[in-house]
Structure 1
Amino acid sequence: MAQAEQPGSVVPAPVAPGRLPLLGHAVQLWRRPIAFLESLREHGEVVRLDIGTWPVHVLTSPEHVHDVLVQQAQRFGRGRVFERLRPMFGNGIVTTDGDFHRKQRRMMQPAFHRGHITEYAEVMGRQATAMSSSWTSGREVSMVTETRRYALSSVAEMIFSGDLSRPAVEEVHRSLPIVLEGMLIRAVMPKSLDRLPIPLNRRFDAAATRLRAIIDQVIATYGSDGEERHDLLSLLLSSVDAETGAGMPPEQVRDEVIAIMFAGTETSATTLAWTFHELGRHPEVQERLQAEVDEVVGEGPVRAEDLARLTYAHDVFQEALRLHSPLLFTRRALAPLTLGGFAIPAGAELAYSPYALHRDPELFPDPTVFDPDRWRRGAGERSRDHRYVPFGAGQHKCIGDTFAVAEILTALATVSSRWHLTPAPGVTVREVPAGIPQPSELPMIPIARPSSGRHWRNPVPRRSSARRSPTGSPRPSATPGSWRRPPNSSPRRPATRRTPAPGCACRPNSSSGTPSASTRRTPRPGPGCSPSSRSGSSAGAWPSGTSWACAPGTPPCAANRWAPPWSTRSRRSTEA
């Protein structure tokens, strides 16, 4: 537990190995920040590292983290990372401390009451349905792009409503991604670099100015037109402090709106993208999730009352968030104290990494294994509250955690009811350091589930010679390169396209076997491919006028064994 410092009874915290003169540990943090933060647990429960000449004490014990966030929270301030966010967030709840923070939290809390979450869930459901409906079975989509668009659209519609706010929504879509990128970089950059006229700073400053101006404009109009609204902005404008009876000034409302947009977009979108990634890597988990969604939600849209019954979906979400948690949070000691027997001077920065904590094998056995069932096995362990802190804890815990959970579960259930997600072939997804580590790229292929009534194709060859239909009766297994027809649909002519040989670039991307105009390209034949006339059963016509066919008896292309035949994706080289 943190205690007032007692001279002679404590020692300085051990220094992480690899410190360089003047640079400290900056080089290691720059080259491999995630691995470096994870390695600190091997050197103690409190470890000092230097970022240049800036000393930081990193906490690797969940007990010490709980002590700082909850037990002795009054001894600590926000810290440097949050101060660096102040130029964008102003005096929002994200950056403030003390009495002002507590007052703001009291005034904002009603906006995140369970009753309002139910209203927000309707918006989330509409946006999730719009995202899901925009996909085409077998056509690759970028989950990073899709989840960010979903989260941004959901948050924007919940904050603003009506035609009056349409320019604000458009500006949010335009400027917020630029602001998010710039804030993450500025949080760790020296403050002296903020004013350099480099492209990054110019884009950030321009986007931030536009965003703040349009929100100020909407707030001014909300207060003058007398129209009754039921969005989140109206709730903030009408909020009153129960102790003082004072309302929130317009500038403060703007700062809080920006904070909500940031938290409700970046965190939710990234976590949802990683969840889809893990489902694609673990089809058995995806099938269990789909079964639960079919039972709880049925054929209709996801409702607010469904979320509490999606227990396995919640376990899947928690496990994905455990594996892909925020990278670093900071606090600042307001007075000299001891922590774990180590001296912490006044003004010292303390940091903890939820990412590293959640991958500690002492806290989570087999920490790199995606195992949603671990949350049911450990449901009765009270100590888990200390070990699992993706939303923080104590007085600074994320005020919108329930909001974020509803946003993610709604999208997860909506997509699972309609699609089976498979990873795009030949892609290695890497973690890119950020506030929450981002996927380097995340292309996935949605395959329409049979119950949706859409034509679909199983991209993975089956081992058995017979399978069970949805009604339970045996039916022949689909072979690679053939079509399957869902129940109650009209008969379709058998496919006339053969599976290409290795390296054959002539792949159909539609049921007719003819490339679409937007994706046509001159083929580069590989082994087993030979020119053929259009009348050949395995030929595909291309813009050059040349048709290509795969020679009979050649082995199937490795990429085509896993990708639907209408995918236009060429084989990617695997990253090192």
Structure 2
Amino acid sequence: MPVPVAPGRWPVLGHTPAMLRHRFGFTAGLPKHGDVVKIYLGTMPTYFVTSPELTYQVLVTDGAKFSKGAMFDKFRPYVGNGLLLSSGAFHLRQRRLIQPAFHHERIARYAEMMIGAVNDLVETWRPSAVRQIDEDMQGLAVTVVGKTLFSTELGQEAIEEARRSIFVVIKQGMIRALSPSFLEKLPMPGNREFDQAIARMKAVVFKVIEDWRADGADHGDLLSTLLLAQDEAGEGMSDQQVYDEVLTMLTAGIETTALALAWLFHEIAKNPAVERKLFDEIDTVLDGRPLTVADIPKLIYTHQVMNEVLRMYPVWILMRRAISEVSLGGVRIRPGSEVTVSPHMLHFDSRFFAEPHRFDPDRWAPDQAGKVPRGAFIPFGAGVRQCMGNTFAQTEIVIAAATVLSRWRLLPVPDQPVKVKFTSAAYPNRMPMIPISR
């Protein structure tokens, strides 16, 4: 079956310039060319699937026929072979070793720490004093993941380094992943910034691991879980494997949550009806007292708001590599072929979400959410490679939203419009907001 090639291909560079220049606009235009469209990252062809059915097939139904793709290969030399990047038997082994860290009882303990971290942040706010909410939410996400990972004094150095470096790794890493390999060797500022950030993170995390090995105590943090975990043969992780998983948790556990929270406060400030309904639910459930873990399931509309934010501001693209032959919509995909899916493209497809650019939490009301076809909403991926920290992230988002909004109303700053900067996900160019005491 012939596969259409997306317009905008350059010699040698392929579709990379168009993708980096137009980002979401480029991928949003692909469905009109078919359910499977061929694009070129440099000279490398990849099959871009544009329907939820084929996306679900790649990620879930035929998930075992795919490994992580070329984009992840480009990251692996720098951020290691953690859960985000590993495949096959090694991925399954690591997933089993790490799974206990995200059991429900552990999430409940993490939730208490999340509540404390949000309260510590909002205690620093002053009525009518402008806050850069995107920076506040980045700092909060780093603090939550960092404190969950590291409980020792030396671990605080790792948290501070993560605050400094991790967003450099994420942003520059996406540019590097989409670009031809020769560009990463050029002495450009972005390349130097990326390499220096990786070197700093590696130095401080390995020092924390060395310190833990000398002590050997279980500190109740995620690092202790990683270092104490053993497989069926009684073997644990090497220092390098532990480092890879730590860096994976830092990169995967910070960006999605920080962006979702920043955009959540932005969107409710733009939508007074949503804001009123959210305030009413939070005030009713909390009744003037601080949030507790037991309150989280009762915040039904808050969960709907979170889902709508995750729909509108997801990861841009994911890649997989076929390890055996598979048919996608009648297209024969040979082993070794690259396949790409786009959560953002699917989340903004009007076939599945009416008026997709309208912020509407009622899409996720109990009687409506089930109408969304499987594969159309994938903020954390799907299948065996779905982000293991999805419940962790969702818990943090609901806690932060409810805790902040129980005490503050956030207003946009006049004449300072917020625009989207497209990298691996939707970043705001800035997000100044004014906190008003409730």
TM class by shorter chain equals over 0.9
Q: What is the rounded CA distance, in whole Å, between the counterparts of 2:341 and 2:276 in structure 1?
A: 35
Q: Which of 316, 334, 338 is residue 349 of structure 1 equivalent to?
A: 338
Q: Which residue does the alignment assign to 1:210?
A: 200
Q: Which residue does the alignment assign to 2:348?
A: 359
Q: What is the rounded CA distance, in whole Å, between the counterparts of 2:196 and 2:270 in structure 1?
A: 40
The 3-state SS of whatever aligns with 1:216 is helix
Q: Which residue does the alignment assign to 1:190?
A: 180
1:102 and 2:92 are equivalent in the alignment? yes
1:70 and 2:97 are equivalent in the alignment? no
Cα deviation, 1:252-289, whole Å, max 9, x if unaligned, reads 11110110011111111011111111111012111211
Query: Are the counterparts in 2 of residues 143 and 442 from structure 1 also a CA contact under 8 Å?
Result: yes
Q: Which residue does the alignment assign to 1:130?
A: 120
Of Structure 1 and Structure 2, the greater helix share is in 2
Q: Which of 266, 274, 282 is residue 271 of structure 2 equivalent to?
A: 282
Query: Are the counterparts in 2 of residues 12 and 343 from structure 1 also a CA contact under 8 Å?
Result: no
Correspondence list, 1:488-507, <5 A: none
| Gap change, CA 1:252 and 1:79, over 3 Å in 2 | same
Q: Which of 5, 18, 21 is residue 28 of structure 1 equivalent to?
A: 18
Q: What is the rounded CA distance, in whole Å, between the counterparts of 1:249 and 1:20 in structure 2?
A: 44
Q: Which residue does the alignment assign to 1:200?
A: 190
Rg comparison, structure with higher value: 1
Q: Which residue does the alignment assign to 1:487?
A: none
1:54 and 2:44 are equivalent in the alignment? yes
Query: Are the counterparts in 2 of residues 328 and 354 from structure 1 also a CA contact under 8 Å?
Result: yes
Letter in structure 1 aligned against 2:205: I
Cα deviation, 1:302-323, whole Å, max 9, x if unaligned, reads 2222111111100000001101
Cα deviation, 1:381-405, whole Å, max 9, x if unaligned, reads 2753322111111111000000000
| Gap change, CA 1:396 and 1:121, over 3 Å in 2 | same
1:180 and 2:184 are equivalent in the alignment? no
Correspondence list, 1:109-120, <5 A: 109-120=99-110
Q: What is the rounded CA distance, in whole Å, between the counterparts of 2:119 and 2:431 in structure 1?
A: 20
**Which stretch shifts more, 390-399 or 300-309?**
300-309
Q: Which residue does the alignment assign to 1:390?
A: 379
Identity over aligned residues, as a percent?
A: 40
Q: What is the rounded CA distance, in whole Å, between the counterparts of 2:290 and 2:183 in structure 1?
A: 48
Q: What is the rounded CA distance, in whole Å, between the counterparts of 1:34 and 1:88 in structure 2?
A: 26
Q: Which residue does the alignment assign to 1:149?
A: 139
Correspondence list, 1:301-450, <5 A: 301-376=290-365, 378-379=367-368, 381=370, 384-449=373-438
Q: What is the rounded CA distance, in whole Å, between the counterparts of 2:340 and 2:204 in structure 1?
A: 35
**Which stretch shifts more, 393-402 or 214-223?**
214-223
Q: What is the rounded CA distance, in whole Å, between the counterparts of 2:418 and 2:330 in structure 1?
A: 41
Per-residue deviation, 1:162 = 2.9
**Which stretch shifts more, 141-150 or 202-211?**
202-211
| Gap change, CA 1:195 and 1:30, over 3 Å in 2 | closer
Q: Which residue does the alignment assign to 1:91?
A: 81
Query: Are the counterparts in 1 of residues 31 and 50 from structure 2 also a CA contact under 8 Å?
Result: yes
Which structure has the higher relative contact order (CA within 8 Å, separation 6+)? Answer: 2
Query: Are the counterparts in 2 of residues 56 and 351 from structure 1 also a CA contact under 8 Å?
Result: yes
Q: What is the rounded CA distance, in whole Å, between the counterparts of 2:209 and 2:17 in structure 1?
A: 45
Q: What is the rounded CA distance, in whole Å, between the counterparts of 2:406 and 2:126 in structure 1?
A: 15
Unaligned stretches of 5+ residues in structure 1: 1-10, 450-576
Letter in structure 2 aligned against 1:109: Q
The 3-state SS of whatever aligns with 2:38 is strand
Per-residue deviation, 1:86 = 0.6
Q: What is the rounded CA distance, in whole Å, between the counterparts of 1:112 and 1:432 in structure 2?
A: 32
Query: Are the counterparts in 2 of residues 125 and 301 from structure 1 also a CA contact under 8 Å?
Result: no
Q: What is the rounded CA distance, in whole Å, between the counterparts of 2:7 and 2:42 in structure 1?
A: 14
Q: Which residue does the alignment assign to 1:220?
A: 210
Q: Which residue does the alignment assign to 1:491?
A: none
Number of residue pairs aligned between Structure 1 and Structure 2: 438
Q: What is the rounded CA distance, in whole Å, between the counterparts of 2:13 and 2:170 in structure 1?
A: 27
1:140 and 2:130 are equivalent in the alignment? yes
Q: What is the rounded CA distance, in whole Å, between the counterparts of 1:180 and 1:18 in structure 2?
A: 26
Letter in structure 2 aligned against 1:29: M
**Which stretch shifts more, 343-352 or 212-221?**
343-352
The 3-state SS of whatever aligns with 2:246 is helix
Per-residue deviation, 1:192 = 2.1
Cα deviation, 1:197-246, whole Å, max 9, x if unaligned, reads 333222222221221121111112112224441111111111122x3222
The 3-state SS of whatever aligns with 2:321 is strand
Q: Which residue does the alignment assign to 2:281?
A: 292
TM-score, length of structure 2 as denominator length:
0.95
1:235 and 2:225 are equivalent in the alignment? yes
Letter in structure 1 aligned against 2:84: V
Letter in structure 2 aligned against 1:111: A
Letter in structure 1 aligned against 2:33: H
Q: Which residue does the alignment assign to 1:515?
A: none
Q: Which of 260, 264, 278 is residue 249 of structure 2 equivalent to?
A: 260
Letter in structure 2 aligned against 1:258: L
The 3-state SS of whatever aligns with 1:245 is coil
Per-residue deviation, 1:168 = 2.4
Query: Are the counterparts in 1 of residues 79 and 198 from structure 2 also a CA contact under 8 Å?
Result: no
**Which stretch shifts more, 104-113 or 216-225?**
216-225
Per-residue deviation, 1:436 = 1.4
Per-residue deviation, 1:128 = 0.7
Per-residue deviation, 1:21 = 4.0
Cα deviation, 1:38-82, whole Å, max 9, x if unaligned, reads 111111111112233221211110000111111111211110111
Query: Are the counterparts in 1 of residues 125 and 435 from structure 2 also a CA contact under 8 Å?
Result: yes
Per-residue deviation, 1:335 = 3.3
Q: What is the rounded CA distance, in whole Å, between the counterparts of 1:240 and 1:233 in structure 2?
A: 14
| Gap change, CA 1:31 and 1:227, over 3 Å in 2 | closer
Unaligned stretches of 5+ residues in structure 2: none
Q: Which residue does the alignment assign to 1:12?
A: 2
Cα deviation, 1:332-351, whole Å, max 9, x if unaligned, reads 12234321112323322111
